[in-house]
Amino acid sequence: MRPTSTRLTSIVVLLMCAVSLATEAQVGKVPRIGVLLPGSPEPEYERRLDAFRQGLRALGYIDTQNILLEYRWAYAQYERMADLVAELLRLQVDVLVIDSNRAGLAAKRATSTLPIVLATAGDPVGTGLVESLARLGGNITGMSLMHAELGAKRLELLKDMVPTAARVAVLWNPDNPQAQLQWRELEVAAPRLDVQLQAVEVRRATDLEHACATVAGWRADALLVIDDPTLVPAHQTEIVDCAARHRLPTMTGLRSLVDEGGLMSYGASFPDMYRRAATFVVKILQGAKPSDLPVEQPTKFDLIINLKTAKALGITIPPSLLLLAEEVLQ
């Protein structure tokens, strides 16, 4: 028995509705990734995000096509972290990607179920983000910067560059848990390197002028900046200007300070870590649990030296450091 035209019309309508519902369901399945950054849209962070998007693209995920990236910026205002996390949670993101321990702690307090990927975290174990690098037992995984361990290496490289440096001022934000860990590492390393340290605290931008005067008054031989969004890249221009006025060689973990005119930086490659963070995101989207993905450590470390600044300070760069350097800025 052949269907009537009315029945054929009904069948066609039903099929069209089914296709429409399937299409809507497919659109609804496009994963949404929240990305929380502590700073502002400056070149330092854009380099990292470019690497993150490249990492996703290499695994078949392209923003606005089959994945949606939602960015939120704290503009170096730590007190905004909790509100920004809450905003991303209201968007019902599938994964949170976090830069910095402070952002990670805010996210951990906000949710114990949503997967959180650390694109960078100074010391996720020491700051309480995870129980251990291998056995997580929670909803957080990603990359560890090894910042605390690198503090001693930075001081050592600074001493290699300026062997006569006996007094090193350390610019840092004591409200940052990761910075506290790095300061303790520096205190341990200083006697071995025959260096006296002077802690110079900067909690907000308004502290910088007083901090610069403190460094000058102490007659420091060099300046070491512990990574913190309050300092770099947010106020790296002021820091470089202070160092230049008082002829202070500088060392930090972020190359953007060297791009600005600082002497040297040493640390993990942030673009490389962001690229690897994309792998964690894709694995989670494909069904992996964060607790089954051990936290990874960086494998690429870059020493960046500003030759122009070295010449301005009258410093001859040792051949050993030139060989070690990933890049020497002319």
Output the pLDDT for position 19: 41
**Alpha helix locations (H) across 29-116?**
43-58, 81-90, 101-110
Confidence at 301, pLDDT banded by 50, 70, 90: very high
Stronger pLDDT, 260 or 28, i.e. the higher one: 260
CA distance 223 to 194: 16
**30-145+269-300 homologous superfamily:** Response regulator (3.40.50.2300)
CA angle 180, 253, 39 (to 5 degrees): 80
Ranges of each domain in the chain: 30-145+269-300, 147-268+302-329
On the question of pLDDT at 17 being above 50, the answer is no
- Note the Cα 273 to chain centre separation in Å: 8
Output the pLDDT for position 25: 39
Domain 147-268+302-329: give its CATH code: 3.40.50.2300
For the segment 58-95, what is each residue's pLDDT rounded down to a tens digit?
A: 999 999 999 999 999 999 888 999 999 999 999 999 99
In 179-271 the beta strands, taken as DSSP E runs, fall at: 196-201, 222-225, 250-252, 264-268
CA distance 253 to 242: 18
For the segment 166-187, what is each residue's pLDDT rounded down to a tens digit?
A: 999 999 999 888 888 889 999 9
CA distance 156 to 325: 14
Q: What percent of the chain has pLDDT over 90?
A: 73
Whether 282 contacts 232, CB under 8 Å? no
